């Protein structure tokens, strides 16, 4: 099935854009939400995290000890890379399993991931969308949504590729600057993806 990856910096509005695609009937795989779920559920992943970071990584009732893990990886790039090397393949496995549940008459799917480019998962997509918004707007949105300080948002932003770096890898763009209509931009891309998915069908190849 034709796969579209969608990403954007923190607060760019990628989830908001995905909701518009969902209204059009396009199933969306929210990789970051799934990643949080499989931290407790994927047996291989749980074993890998315990082995890498110690048994304290999980509480007695099997829940990930977020504070403990965040304390280790937040300022240690090597530890973060180690964690990502465990989590990303587990998310890929979850995506493959999810895709198998999608009915054949669905024209294409969307995979939303904050680290689509950083994780390399864009390579498994047929095309990609980058959602962008001006820096000040992103900052204000996240501060308001999460009730956090500008410094905390900036610290999170620093962990991601810049829009400039992401732009080099993206095939399509949605500007979510509260000036241009998201719906209009989504409808234009939706038509392009329907055409591309149609062209990929065995009868048309
Ligand atoms: P994150 O990476 O932090 O999960 P995101 O890129 O998925 O962020 P959203 O959660 O979609 O971003 O949007 C961030 C906040 O900004 C939300 O509270 C959302 O309602 C708001 N927002 C997004 N787009 C718009 C818009 N066009 N107009 C007004 N508010 C918006």
**Residues 117-157: pLDDT tens digits?**
988 889 999 999 999 999 999 999 999 999 999 999 999 88
Of 162, 120, 166, which is closest to residue 138 (Cα–Cα)?
Answer: 162
pTM for the full predicted model: 0.91
pLDDT in tens, 30-88: 999 999 999 999 999 999 999 999 999 999 888 999 999 999 998 898 999 999 999 99
Q: Is 70 exceeded by the pLDDT of residue 178?
A: yes
Looking at ligand 1, which atom is closest to the CA of residue 131? 6
Neighbouring C-beta atoms of residue 203, cutoff 10 Å: 5
Contact (CB, 8 A) for 106 and 27 = yes
Q: How far is the CA of 52 from the centre of ligand 1 (A)?
A: 34
What mean pLDDT is predicted for residues 110-114?
Answer: 96
Class of domain 1-27+108-205: alpha beta
Q: How far is the CA of 105 from the centre of ligand 1 (A)?
A: 30
User: What pLDDT was estimated at residue 198?
Assistant: 92
Closest-CA residue, ligand 1 atom 29, reads 178
Is residue 8 in contact with ligand 1, taking CB distance under 6 Å?
yes
What mean pLDDT is predicted for residues 19-34?
Answer: 97
Is residue 7 in contact with ligand 1, taking CB distance under 6 Å?
no
Closest-CA residue, ligand 1 atom 25, reads 13
Of 202, 194, 198, 34, which is closest to residue 112 (Cα–Cα)?
Answer: 34
Q: Is 90 exceeded by the pLDDT of residue 158?
A: no
Q: Which of 8-12, 59-63, 114-118, 198-202 has the highest mean pLDDT?
A: 8-12
Q: How far is the CA of 57 from the centre of ligand 1 (A)?
A: 31
Residue to probe by mutation, ligand 1, list 7, 8, 11, 113, most atoms within 8 Å of CB: 11
User: What pLDDT was estimated at residue 202?
Assistant: 77
What mean pLDDT is predicted for residues 107-124?
Answer: 93
- Cα-Cα-Cα-Cα dihedral sign, residues 23, 28, 34, 37: positive
Lookup: tokens for 198: 């149609």
For the chain, what is the mean pLDDT?
94
Of 18, 22, 48, 46, which is closest to residue 32 (Cα–Cα)?
Answer: 18
Percent share of the chain, pLDDT over 70: 100
Same fold flag, 1-27+108-205 and 32-101: yes
Looking at ligand 1, which atom is closest to the CA of residue 18? 11
Closest-CA residue, ligand 1 atom 3, reads 10
What mean pLDDT is predicted for residues 4-24?
Answer: 97
- Cα-Cα-Cα-Cα dihedral sign, residues 189, 141, 84, 43: negative
Does the domain at 32-101 match CATH 3.20.20.70? Answer given as: no
Is residue 160 in contact with ligand 1, taking CB distance under 6 Å?
no
Closest-CA residue, ligand 1 atom 16, reads 141
Segments making up each domain of the chain, as ranges: 1-27+108-205, 32-101
Is residue 11 in contact with ligand 1, taking CB distance under 6 Å?
yes
Contact (CB, 8 A) for 165 and 40 = no
Gap between the Cα atoms of 46 and 161, Å rounded: 27
Q: How confident is the model at residue 205 (pLDDT cuts 50, 70, 90)?
A: low
Q: Which of the residue ranges 20-24, 91-95, 182-186 would you say has the lowest mean pLDDT?
A: 91-95
């Amino acid at each position: 099935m034709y796969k579209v990856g969608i990403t954007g910096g923190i607060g760019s509005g990628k989830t908001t854009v995905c909701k518009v695609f969902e209204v059009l009937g396009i199933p969306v795989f929210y990789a970051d939400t799934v990643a949080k779920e499989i931290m407790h559920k994927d047996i291989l992943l749980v074993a890998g995290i315990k082995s890498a970071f110690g048994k304290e990584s999980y509480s007695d009732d099997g829940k990930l000890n977020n504070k403990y893990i965040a304390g280790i990886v937040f300022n240690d790039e090597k530890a973060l890379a180690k964690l990502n090397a465990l989590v990303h393949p587990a998310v890929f496995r979850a995506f493959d399993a999810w895709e198998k549940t999608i009915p054949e008459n669905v024209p294409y799917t969307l995979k939303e991931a904050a680290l689509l480019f950083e994780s390399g998962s864009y390579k498994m997509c047929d095309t990609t969308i980058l959602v962008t918004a001006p820096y000040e707007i992103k900052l204000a949105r996240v501060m308001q949504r999460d009730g956090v300080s500008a410094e905390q948002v900036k610290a999170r932003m620093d962990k991601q590729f810049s829009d400039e770096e992401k732009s080099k890898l993206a095939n399509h763009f949605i500007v979510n600057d509260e000036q241009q209509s998201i719906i209009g931009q989504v409808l234009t891309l939706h038509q392009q993806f329907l055409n591309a998915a149609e062209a990929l069908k065995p009868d048309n190849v």
